[in-house]
Structure 1
């Protein structure tokens, strides 16, 4: 893989959107459990800063362009890369968000160590650390 394609317009950031039947529960969970702070708050949409240039949008079930996906497979995961994997797991354990199978697992065909939790809407939030990082461009 190479660097940016010559002539490609710049990208200022990214926002991933998740859709909820119970938006208030999702907002509370991301604020209180993960510590993400909103920077834009409407009655149907909240944008939370995850990291510089990267945000998560929480949208209610009826006002956005999409609808919540029923069932266990939401088709989307918020993956958070961190060198503080143990601290994140401790934080989520203290908040009562870990189940019996939420220990560290190998991921990405052995290139990462990771664990996952589910948010109130059933979306996976994955925390991982590279064992063998991809090469830098």
Structure 2
């Protein structure tokens, strides 16, 4: 007999964990450049609020479940109200691998990407509607 699956109505948070060789450098980027709020400080794991229930966790690779790897097949996507204002801002602070904003009619978004200090790609996007 299969047990009933619990409802997601009671789900509280979604946390995506990323693994870093230099946790303090990553923390400075997510706090100072992106302006995210440190919500939970677990010492070697720092969890930042992105939205009401969406979080990104930065983990010291020497303590976490995984190790940092040079290939980063993960993208953090943040939906913002004004993608062009965000592009102007991140361009002014010199983030790595910054691409110009582009509109994607089929997806109904305008977006650009850049890298965090260890190469994780961040996409900022706004809805075209």
Q: TM-score range by the shorter chain?
A: 0.7 to 0.9
What is the CA distance between 1:111 and its match in structure 2? Answer: 2.5
What is the CA distance between 1:91 and its match in structure 2? Answer: 1.5
Distance 1:75 1:87, change over 3 A: same
Which residue matches 1:116?
113
TM-score (ref. length: structure 2): 0.85
Following superposition of structure 1 onto structure 2, how do residues 1-137 of structure 1 map, counting pairs within 5 Å? 8-10=7-9, 11-71=11-71, 74-97=72-95, 99=97, 102-107=99-104, 109-131=106-128
Structure 2 unaligned runs (5+)?
none
TM-score (ref. length: structure 1): 0.80
What is the CA distance between 1:66 and its match in structure 2? Answer: 1.6
Segments ≥4 residues shifted beyond 4 Å: 107-110
Question: What's the RMSD between the two structures over aligned residues?
Answer: 2.1
Structure 1 unaligned runs (5+)?
1-5, 133-137
Q: How many residues align?
A: 124
